[in-house]
Every structure is written in C-alpha cells, then in structure tokens.
Amino acid sequence: MFLNRILHQFFAHYHGMVRYHAAQQASQKVRDALLDFQNNANNNTSNSIIDSTSSSRTQSLALQWALQQRGVSDVVLGMTQPRHVEAALQVAKSS
C-alpha cells in the first residue's frame, strides 16, 4: 500500500511536469511561427526583433495573422480588461 501511494505521488508529479513542459514547447513553437509570419510580412528581419517571451506580443501577432487570412471572416477575442480591447483595436487599425 505504501509503495502504491509513493508511485501515485511520483506519477502525479511527473504528469504535472510533462504538461508544463509540453505547454512551454507549444507556446514557443507558436511564437516562432508568428515571428516567421511577421518577418515574412515585413521582408526585413532587422525591424522585427521583438520580445519573444511577451504573451501580449504573441497575442498581437496571432491577431495580425488571423486578420490577414482570407478564409477567416471573424475573429472572436476573449477580452477581460479594457487594455486588451485597446491593444486589439491598435492591431486591427494597423492591419
């Protein structure tokens, strides 16, 4: 019984670590893809250096990408604060 409890705790902790690292890798791949999109759109990587860890910048790049897709007619955003609305409006105006 004691061994079962220890194994259960180990695998529960291991599961949490795997989920955390998988989420980090997925976020990094999305940021990298969005940066490539931005660099290709600008045709100038020297002006495209951004903080790749900034989640608000990642969201901005994602919104820019969605607005430029011909197959996307509407973009629905989950905005919980007025500054989110302001940032999205700035992106929409610049596109």
Structural contact between residues 59 and 34, judged by C-beta atoms closer than 8 angstroms: no
Q: How many domains does the chain have?
A: 1
Task: Determine if the pTM surpasses 0.75.
Answer: no
Amino acid at 41: A
pLDDT the model gives residue 48:
43
Report the SS3 class of residue 48. coil
Structural contact between residues 63 and 77, judged by C-beta atoms closer than 8 angstroms: yes
The mean predicted confidence, pLDDT, of the chain is 79
**pLDDT > 70 in the chain, percent:** 84
Other beta carbons within 10 Å of 61: 23
- pLDDT tens-digit readout, 42-86: 765 444 434 444 566 777 777 888 878 888 777 777 778 888 888
Domain that holds residue 35: 2-94
